[in-house]
Structure 1
Amino acid sequence: KTVIQAEIDAACELTDFLRFNAYYAQEVYKYQPISPSNEVSNTYRLRSLEGFVAAISPFNFSAIAGNLSSAPALMGNAVVWKPSSTALLSNWIIYKIFEEAGFAPGVISFLPSKPLDFSDHVISSPDLAAVNFTGSVATFQTIWRNVADNLTKNKTFPRMIGECGGKDFHLIHPSADLQTAITQTARAAFEYSGQKCSACSRLYVPKSIWPKIEVGLLDITSKLKLGSPLEFDTFLSAVIDGASFKRIKGCIDYAENDDNHKILIGGQATFEKGFFVEPTIIVTTDPHSKLITNEIFGPVLTVFVYDDNKIDQTMELIDSSTPYGLTGAIFANDKKFLQKSIDRLKYSAGNLYINDKCTGAVVGQQPFGGARVSGTNDKAGAPHYLLRWVSPQNIKQTNVPLHDWSYPYMSSAK
């Protein structure tokens, strides 16, 4: 991350998670059921889960890692935390801060490990009560299968909470403010080298305004500095590791060698001084291209230009051409179209933005999460998320003795 992006994540957002979760915990504990008279009192308590929570965090956000491990602990659970192998130091510092802040030793166990070892010794434990995960679809599916295979050994049915990325869209309508759409798209696609699960990676533009959108995007992209994250004028830096670099470069190479694709800008990838990939814009004539349907997790934006009179078909493409459903954005000033598109695309994104980029959810303002293969949509940053880490119990106490086994209606029937 660049300096500012890192501060937003590791300092500001993590602090927000801790403060809002503490506040939400106070609020969810306030609920009590109705006690209709002095004869009966009903109470409702929230117990910790019976067992431990396995927290598996990604490399790309320190705030996510801190929240995955601390939220279940805040609600009374023991947590075994597996950090990403490419984020060990930052996560270790967070863990030590938690201990210094007062989490009892052992409440959160920091356990760097290989995925297979973690699965064999943690996920397969009969005491597993829940999995709190952020990462790839394939990994979460594997974990879910492993949990299912062990159900006959488990003391409870483990809860599965996961966020798995997306193939996030920007849809531009002819009525949109063009400069807003251009600027927001460039930011959403290329900040943090596209290594956000919410990053804009597919753009749908009407043919009538594509020439202006193209000029604007190329102008901004040509000015984005790719360099050291420690320099304040840097917009994006290296991708995380060699495997990521190879995957992203493979997508660019595919576009270079396929007649349905054209690279408009960028496309260079070099690892002489790090795993640097230029911000890249590709236009395709194939709305089902793998660059449109598959998550890339890098600074690659794929554009599909649609006929103005095929906006309904385009929304169908947006909704059906990928299995994801995380974030999306609609740019339009036509109020009737906005209402129509918000309804039509309601299942395409767990976080939907109007005339704003599809990244940058703020804790307490835009609770975050998606459905379909993007995850279980449990909305981190909202009160509902904390309810996943407790097991409610209702207690009824009768305060008046009962000596007669029969009911009053029985005597009246005679």
Structure 2
Amino acid sequence: MVLPFKHEPFTDFTVKENREAFKEALHKVKTELGKDYPLVINGEKMYTKDKLVSVNPANKEQVIGNVSKATKQHVDIAFETALEAFETWRSMAPEARAHVLFRAAAIARRRKHELSAWLVYEAGKPWNQADGDTAEGIDFLEYYGRQMLELAKGKQLNQRENENNQYFYKAIGPGVVIPPWNFAFAIACGTAVAPIVAGNPVLLKPSENTPVVAYKLIGILEEAGLPKGVVNFLPGDPLEIGDYMVDHKETRFINFTGSRATGVRIYERAAKVQQGQQFLKRVIAEMGGKDTIIVDKDADVDMAADAIVHSAFGFSGQKCSACSRVIVHKDLYEQVIEKSVELTKELSVGNPAEQDVYMGAVVNQKQFNKIKEYIEIGKAEGTLVYGGNADDSTGNFVYPTIFKDVDPKARLMQEEIFGPVVAFTKANNFDEMLEIANNTEYGLTGAVISNNRAHLERAKYEFDVGNLYFNRGCTAAIVGYQPFGGFKMSGTDSKAGGPDYLQLFMEAKVVSEKF
């Protein structure tokens, strides 16, 4: 019997026993740093001379692991393997495929602190953010397993006398999974196991920033009994193998989460039919956001400030859902900014591998430099009211930064920064707030802080984002509760963690029999 889906609880780190257990996990992982990791193709571990070197963002001298890099030849071998595995995996009972996920969830749950500790070291995640990342991965395993059990029933069709009509779903074949670094376990897990449980083998190319965490996922799936060849682990240079994987004639789908530029590139390349290709490729893409919190005239100022600060600076703003724009009614403008600054001053910044801090370092030097550039842009476009500091002497630390009086069409209000920088602008009324909120090319998340029911109902339909929240922050979607995906240039609105997601990796078939 499969119990109803229940969200994996977060660890309460105010409890001493939980803190001590997590410190033990951090110590254990520290003793395992610096190892070499292989490719995994058809269940076989393959080591290459050329390596991705993963480092701790908060301590750039600390090597997390040396991960073998795949070549185009490895991609070809992996596709041959995946095609062979497809013949048996797609025929396996949906219940059997689902139970692999359920077993993987149990394994991950038992190793939860260990997995979170790897996220602390490799992704630079603070304790609670790492714990949430691992919990979300477990949620994906549990939720998608249950969704497969439901889809296996097919759908009801109308019937006529002397005729039987059936409507059911079948797997489509091997595909490519390209997850990001910012949710190195959760999104790598969710984007891989959804097509897998639907019957499709995958080639998983992890982010070059967090390949070790992704390798841990492979080990869990193998331990859970996933057959050889159903998941193939292919870390590597995006320039060397990324386009090749997307273009490959055997690629049935590409499941991607990352930047707008890369997502658009994948979308364009996937549209071209290659020689020998017999199907149209599907692209499932989540491509970022420029997310806005609206603070209405009658809003609770304390609630608004809390929502803004935690949405903007959680995991150093390195979330596609992070708040980077705030539109405040003119009557509350200075109050909300003042309260937001007060709360931001309370945030701690440091190395999460050494202490429980609110913010760690940003993921790499390239991102550090990019955020610094946007801070300088902000100084020209608005008024710096807090922060603006950065230090890369030992790690890539950027401190929380707040700008005000920024024009709604300024670069700081239009371009995705992916760092702890938030810009405020004021508006005269709710019409103007909605107009500004919708003036970007993105449409991922948003929030409205208001006690005006008429305004909330308007925002429900007029605020053009895929995930909209009322009287809370614009981050922290939960699998099965707030399926996630956005409009416009935020992607294909695929709604990860929702009831429609698995169908993206399946084909509906109708069989009609006359008696």
* Same-fold call, TM cutoff 0.5: yes
Q: Is the 8 A contact 1:28 1:383 kept in 2?
A: no
Question: Structure 1 residue 209: deviation in Å?
Answer: 1.2
Distance 1:83 1:343, change over 3 A: same
- Could you say what secondary structure the match of 1:338 adopts? helix
Q: Which residue of 2 aligns with 1:108?
A: 231
- 1:399-414 equivalence runs, <5 A: 399=515
Question: Structure 1 residue 206: deviation in Å?
Answer: 1.5
1:266 corresponds to which letter in structure 2? Answer: G
Q: Is the 8 A contact 1:25 1:383 kept in 2?
A: no
Distance 1:276 1:26, change over 3 A: same
Paired with 1:157 and 1:151, the residues of 2 have a C-alpha distance of 10
Q: Deviations over 1:106-164 (max 9, x none)?
A: 10110012113224532222111101000001001111222223356421000110001
Q: Which residue of 2 aligns with 1:343?
A: 461
Matched, 1:158 2:158: no
> Relative contact order: is structure 1 or structure 2 higher (C-alpha 8 Å, sep ≥ 6)?
1
Q: Which residue of 1 aligns with 2:504?
A: 388
**Aligned partner of 2:213 among 68, 90, 102:** 90
Paired with 2:355 and 2:496, the residues of 1 have a C-alpha distance of 30
Question: Structure 1 residue 41: deviation in Å?
Answer: 1.5
**Aligned partner of 2:434 among 315, 321, 336:** 315
Paired with 1:241 and 1:74, the residues of 2 have a C-alpha distance of 33
Q: Is the 8 A contact 2:484 2:496 kept in 1?
A: yes
2:271 corresponds to which letter in structure 1? Answer: A
- Could you say what secondary structure the match of 2:165 adopts? strand
Q: Is the 8 A contact 1:182 1:216 kept in 2?
A: yes
Question: Structure 1 residue 46: deviation in Å?
Answer: 1.6
Question: Structure 1 residue 28: deviation in Å?
Answer: 1.6
Question: Structure 1 residue 37: deviation in Å?
Answer: 4.9
Matched, 1:352 2:468: yes
Question: Structure 1 residue 233: deviation in Å?
Answer: 4.3
RMSD value, Cα: 1.4
TM-score normalised by structure 2 residue count: 0.74
Question: Structure 1 residue 314: deviation in Å?
Answer: 2.7
**Aligned partner of 2:291 among 161, 164, 168:** 168
Distance 1:146 1:175, change over 3 A: same
Matched, 1:334 2:452: yes
- 1:7-406 equivalence runs, <5 A: 7-10=131-134, 12-34=135-157, 36-37=159-160, 39-49=162-172, 51-61=173-183, 62-151=185-274, 153-230=276-353, 233-256=356-379, 258=380, 260-307=381-428, 310-320=429-439, 322-345=440-463, 348-399=464-515
1:300 corresponds to which letter in structure 2? Answer: V
2:462 corresponds to which letter in structure 1? Answer: R
- Could you say what secondary structure the match of 1:374 adopts? coil
- Residues paired across the two proteins, number: 390
Distance 1:88 1:52, change over 3 A: same
Q: Deviations over 1:180-229 (max 9, x none)?
A: 01111110000100001000000011221122112211111111101121
Q: Is the 8 A contact 2:434 2:462 kept in 1?
A: yes
Paired with 2:143 and 2:460, the residues of 1 have a C-alpha distance of 28
Paired with 1:81 and 1:208, the residues of 2 have a C-alpha distance of 50
Q: Is the 8 A contact 2:322 2:475 kept in 1?
A: yes
Matched, 1:3 2:127: yes
- Could you say what secondary structure the match of 1:383 adopts? coil
1:356 corresponds to which letter in structure 2? Answer: R
Paired with 2:158 and 2:377, the residues of 1 have a C-alpha distance of 66
2:180 corresponds to which letter in structure 1? Answer: P
Q: Deviations over 1:38-85 (max 9, x none)?
A: 621122232110x31110010010201111111101111010111000
- Could you say what secondary structure the match of 2:190 adopts? helix
Q: Is the 8 A contact 2:430 2:455 kept in 1?
A: no
| More deviation, 23-32/355-364 | 23-32
State the structure with more CA Rg: 1
Q: Deviations over 1:242-279 (max 9, x none)?
A: 010000000011222x1x41110100011012000000
- Could you say what secondary structure the match of 1:384 adopts? coil
- Could you say what secondary structure the match of 1:70 adopts? helix
Q: Deviations over 1:280-335 (max 9, x none)?
A: 0011341111000000000001111223xx43123112112x10000000000011
1:272 corresponds to which letter in structure 2? Answer: S
Q: Which residue of 2 aligns with 1:412?
A: none
- Could you say what secondary structure the match of 1:378 adopts? coil
| More deviation, 287-296/231-240 | 231-240
Paired with 2:483 and 2:157, the residues of 1 have a C-alpha distance of 30
Distance 1:24 1:266, change over 3 A: same
Paired with 1:216 and 1:385, the residues of 2 have a C-alpha distance of 39
Identity across the alignment (%): 36
Q: Is the 8 A contact 1:140 1:164 kept in 2?
A: yes
Paired with 2:406 and 2:421, the residues of 1 have a C-alpha distance of 16
2:446 corresponds to which letter in structure 1? Answer: G
1:353 corresponds to which letter in structure 2? Answer: Y
Paired with 1:53 and 1:287, the residues of 2 have a C-alpha distance of 40
Paired with 2:418 and 2:384, the residues of 1 have a C-alpha distance of 18
Q: Is the 8 A contact 2:406 2:412 kept in 1?
A: no
Paired with 1:25 and 1:182, the residues of 2 have a C-alpha distance of 41
Q: Is the 8 A contact 2:318 2:419 kept in 1?
A: yes
